[in-house]
Amino acid sequence: MTTLETSPVIGAGLDRVDAPLKVTGAAYYPNDFTFPGMAHAALVRSTIAAGRISAIDTSAAEEAPGVLTVITYRNAPKLERGPMTLLGGSPPAPLQDDRILHYGQHVAIVVAETAEQARDAASLVRVEYEATKALLDVDDPRAEILNNPWGLDTERGDVAAGFAQADVVVEGTYTTPDNTNNPLGLMATIATWHGDSLTIHDSTQWPHNVRSSLATIFKIPESGIRVLAPFVGGGFGAGLRMWQHVILTVVAARKVNRPVKLVLTRPEMFTLVGHRPNSVQQIKIGATRDGDLIAIEHHVISSVAMEDDDYEPVSFGSAVSYACPNVFTRDRQARLNIPSPGSMRGPAEGQGNWALECAIDEVAVALGMDPLEFRLRNYAENNPLLKLPWSSKALRECYLHGAERFGWSRRTPQPGSMRDGRWLVGYGLAGVSYPFYQVPCQARASVRRDGSAYVRSAATDIGTGTYTVMTQLAAELLGLSVNQVHFGLGDSDMPYSPQAGGSGLTGALGNAIHAACRRLVQEFLYVVRDDQDSPLRGATVDDVAVTDGRIHRVGDPDSGEAYTDILARHGLEELSADGRSTPPQPEELGMALSGAFGAKFVEVRIDPDLGLLRVARVVSVIDGGRILNEKTATSQIIGGTVGGISQALFEETATDEVTGRIANATFGDYLMPVNADVPDMDVLFAGGPDRATAVGTKGVGEIGLVGIAAAIGNAVYHATGRRIRSLPITIDQLL
């Protein structure tokens, strides 16, 4: 019970346990719920990016059929801002004054009997503005600059001296645009008041954050709020924060004293639930003639909203990725009249890795070295900041296995030297990592009289496979079959769980379940410790193993008894136990905590006359620690790879530079890859369990995206000799 040495359930490519509910339509998402007397809401958004409301006329809307109320800053309750969270501050409360801070800002919410009536009435609200010139560019000298906003800037060695000693120095400016998360499911909220208590159905990746935030804002006990999100239609980070539309739905439900549902439109998804912020990155790298890195300098400025914050340390990866003695990284943010940015899959690393790994390739080219050889030569065996060995790192194996699988040795170094008919062929690679992230988590496990187990925690499953892998883990730890375990999540009344994000949930939740299941076995042993009829009398948890629904002494499968027999003999319907996990501390372990590592290999084809670019092959080799389910983990890497192709070649949230209006806020205008743009993908896993935690996992949700853009950019250079430094890579850049 103390180890997971044998794992007949863990690691198996088990089909998703929630799949039958989803394919039969029995999985209810927030938008699927309806309640007696439920009203519907629609939003009115600003049509300027900066200024004030000079007049607002709601009379026509209030007189429209079915309308129950119209709420503006004039009649909205005064609300305080939500609490500080693990991901930073809460967004400001909506409708608190007449100021406009970004295009698309909430200026009113309309509640009516039907969704159609609400939308129609919302179009009747008339708003006049006193507009001012908006701040929309990080280079605008009027913008307030936040220096080192998270205290993560780094400096080691003497960067100036390093560059002075370098034989080769490469520097350039790399840029990334705004991207928008765009989960397929439109985000929805239903709020229902029951006296002074509140029930919320919400498209959230973090039910407990919604509960604690609403408790602070509306000054009610957390125990009086229940947040439900058993199924969420994607997220990619959009559901990590509790956004203002949730608050407005709660306000509206209290005002009309009925349940209220609000479903965002697709254009609203572009302005109300976050986006990946743009970045301008200046990177400079120096190396010796022998290929040793001697200095790295990485400066970043990215955008942030006027009165909000966003955790996005873009340059930080450059401080820990390579064994380089002299490194300086710096992040700044410019306050602009834009919708609030937020985490989007692979936040910070998705942008920073683009600059770092392309610049690393530039140095290799300048030295005349193979890009793979150059990376291996400067491999960081230990964490360069902490000077401690990693708790696990199989990046070297990722490079070597990936190169063999991809056929990297067939690459000829000269740009433009490889062709297939009229197509130019390019090979590119990128090394990647994603930081360790884990926070405290709790879980509860129960075994019932019928031999089944119920394990639960207030996590969410946004399509990553949490239902499935946690069912597998609990089944293994309790010695049960998968069909004997039910895993519950998505309910804030369950034990506390952090967000499904940052590649941290599997580790935090898995270790909490490990603790709960171990404690549960101990509870069974407590029951029989003085039982003369039990072969387990006097045994401790370290003396036993669990197999086929039975606890037995280690090495003696016959010396034990079933959970069901213990419960029946002692007149118990079930036994339960709680478990919790806390993140380990590097100083106590003597190890640097490792996130996932990986190597990405990409082949591109380019038509030199038309500038057409096609991704032909992708090989991803990932060190993800212990893989609980190879099928769902592979799916995560495939999905992330599609997102990386999208970041590299398609996605750009286009903001009008005068008005601040997002010009492509529909799926018809916002480009994303379709099946024809996505090649066959090869995914392999390397390494083994991470040493820092009991379960040994590392998150793989973000690592699939990170590095794909850089590998594509490097492949484009190899095919054409053109070094592209701005995303997305478009036809005009290749002509």
DSSP state for residue 541 in the 8-state scheme = G
C-alpha distance from residue 694 to each of 5, 271, 512, 723 (Å)? 11, 41, 10, 45
Residues of the chain with confidence (pLDDT) below 50:
1-7
Give the span between the Cα atoms of 713 and 677, in whole angstroms.
16
Per-residue model confidence (pLDDT) at position 12: 85
> Is-contact 167 287, C-beta < 8 A?
yes
Instruction: Specify the pLDDT at position 5.
Output: 38
Residue 377 backbone class (left: φ over 0; alpha: ψ -120 to 50; beta: rest) = alpha
Do 320 and 379 contact (CB within 8 A), yes or no? no
Burial class (CB in 10 A: 0-12, 13-18, 19+), 55: exposed
Collapsed DSSP state (helix, strand, coil) of residue 154: strand
Eight-class DSSP state of 26:
-
* Chain centroid, CA 24 distance in Å: 27
pLDDT for the residue numbered 3: 39
Q: What is the pLDDT of residue 4?
A: 35
CA proximity to 284, closest of 272, 268, 267, 297: 297
**Cα 407 from Cα 692, distance rounded (Å):** 34
Burial class (CB in 10 A: 0-12, 13-18, 19+), 530: exposed
Catalytic annotation, pick one of 268, 312, 561, 702: 702
**Tokens 């594509």, located at residue:** 712
CB 632, CB 464: distance < 8 Å: yes
Catalytic, 574? Answer: no
Q: What DSSP letter does each residue of 381-419 carry, written as one string? A: SEETTTTEEBS---HHHHHHHHHHHHTGGG--SSTT--E
pTM of the model: 0.97
Q: Which two tokens stand for residue 356?
A: 């770092």
pLDDT at 233: 86
Q: What is the reported pLDDT for 122?
A: 98
Q: What is the pLDDT of residue 6?
A: 41
Query: Are 385 and 319 within 8 A, CB to CB?
Result: yes
Non-local (6+) Cβ contacts of 508 within 8 A are 438, 439, 440, 441, 497, 498, 581, 583
pLDDT tens-digit profile of 428-480? 999 999 999 999 999 999 999 999 999 999 999 999 999 999 999 999 999 99
